[in-house]
């Protein structure tokens, strides 16, 4: 039996939760001049299944 806890959440579920709760932060990161922030935001959006916020 597999037990899921907050520490054991898969990345896709975490990404969906963050896109739903904090869309303004993901938008800010996506439009950032820092390439690392943009890459993280894009990866979060892709794993969450979101094209636009």
Dihedral sign (CA 42, 45, 46, 47):
positive
Does residue 3 sit within a domain? no
Any domain includes 1: no
Residue 41 lies in a domain: yes
What average pLDDT does the chain have? Answer: 88
- What tokens were used for 16? 């969906």
Q: Hey, what are 28's tokens?
A: 């800010």
CA atoms of 24 and 16, how far apart (whole Å): 14
**Which residue range(s) make up the domain with 37?**
10-48
Region 6-17: mean pLDDT is 85
11-21 helix and 23-30 helix, angle to the nearest 10 degrees: 100
Domain count, the chain: 1
36 within a domain of the structure (yes/no): yes
pLDDT of residue 47: 94
Q: Is 39 inside a domain boundary? A: yes
Q: In this prediction, what percent of the chain has a pLDDT beyond 90? A: 74
Tens of pLDDT along 14-24?
A: 999 999 999 99
Q: For residue 4, is it within any domain? A: no
């Amino acid at each position: 039996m597999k037990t899921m806890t907050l520490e054991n959440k898969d990345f896709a579920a975490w990404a969906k939760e963050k896109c739903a709760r904090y869309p303004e932060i993901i938008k800010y990161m996506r439009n950032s001049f820092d390439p690392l922030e943009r890459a993280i935001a894009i990866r979060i959006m892709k794993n969450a299944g979101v094209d636009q916020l």
